[in-house]
Amino acid sequence: MNFELIQQAFPLLLLGAGVTIEITAVSVAIGLIIGLIIGILRIGQIRVLRIIATIYADCIRGTPLLVQIFLIYFALPMISGHRVDPFLAAVTACGINSGAYVSEIIRAGIQSIDIGQMEAGRSLGLTWWQTMYHIILPQALRNILPPLGNEFIAMLKDSSLVSVIGFEELTRRGQLIIAQTYGSFEIWLTVAFLYLVMTLAISRLVSFLERRK
Ligand code: ARG
């Protein structure tokens, strides 16, 4: 085991870890917005929107994230004629993907609230949207937070897939350092350790937030 190599590579890998956190945070933020909309549409009263939202969630969850990344980075430029920036491609692919998973979390969270809550709101004269916003969503949030934390962790690990388009996050940095130093064992071990530290930190943060609410 070459400790000197680890010592030299560590600062570079740490930078990569920062980039990984960045892609993950942006992707989950995009996913949260998409997921909230799609999730509500999936249980909404408008049939066309319900169908569209369901097709979105099915298509995205039914195809590999890796293929979606390839589609956005390599196939999209062929029809649009413009090169896609790797960071933009990475967060778009991961964000669209995360949106489908978040929509499922939102849908399940809302459906976990007793139907009587909606009926009570409606009978008080609130509209469907008012009841959803003021009564259902605040209660659903409690059930949504833990799986949302899991999605964050899953996305952090799955963001390693964007290394295939050459975007320099943690995994790609590892590959590049190994290409120069041949230190597979040391570098992959350090990469794994950094992922572990990040996922543990997120899960601790989520349980802290859960206990506080
Ligand atoms: N592993 C699955 C895939 O390749 C899911 C990837 C996305 N993960 C996520 N948490 N949004 O499609």
Q: What percent of the chain has pLDDT over 90?
A: 86
Predicted pLDDT at 55: 97
CA of 147 to the centre of ligand 1 (A): 14
Helices (H), the chain: 3-43, 47-61, 65-70, 76-80, 86-111, 115-123, 128-131, 137-158, 170-181, 184-212
The finding on whether 65 has its CB within 6 A of some atom of ligand 1 is yes
Domains with residue ranges and CATH for the chain: 1-210 (1.10.3720.10)
Predicted pLDDT at 80: 85
- Please give the average per-residue pLDDT across 118-142, as a whole number: 93
The finding on whether 60 has its CB within 6 A of some atom of ligand 1 is no
Q: Pick the atom of ligand 1 nearest to 66's CA.
A: 4
pLDDT in tens, 2-60: 899 999 999 999 999 999 999 999 999 999 999 999 999 998 889 999 999 999 999 99
- Would you call 96 helix, strand, or coil by DSSP? helix
Task: Give the separation between CA 121 and CA 187, rounded to whole angstroms.
Answer: 57
Please list, in sequence order, all residues whose beta carbon lies within 8 angstroms of the beta carbon of residue 169, skipping any fewer than 6 positions away.
Answer: 16, 19, 20, 23, 90, 159, 160, 162, 163
Please list, in sequence order, all residues whose beta carbon lies within 8 angstroms of the beta carbon of residue 5, skipping any fewer than 6 positions away.
Answer: 181, 183, 186, 187
With a cut of 90, say whether residue 213 has pLDDT above it: no
pTM of the model: 0.90
The finding on whether 101 has its CB within 6 A of some atom of ligand 1 is yes
The finding on whether 98 has its CB within 6 A of some atom of ligand 1 is yes
Q: What percent of the chain has pLDDT over 70?
A: 100
Q: Pick the atom of ligand 1 nearest to 31's CA.
A: 11
Do 95 and 34 touch, CB atoms closer than 8 A?
yes
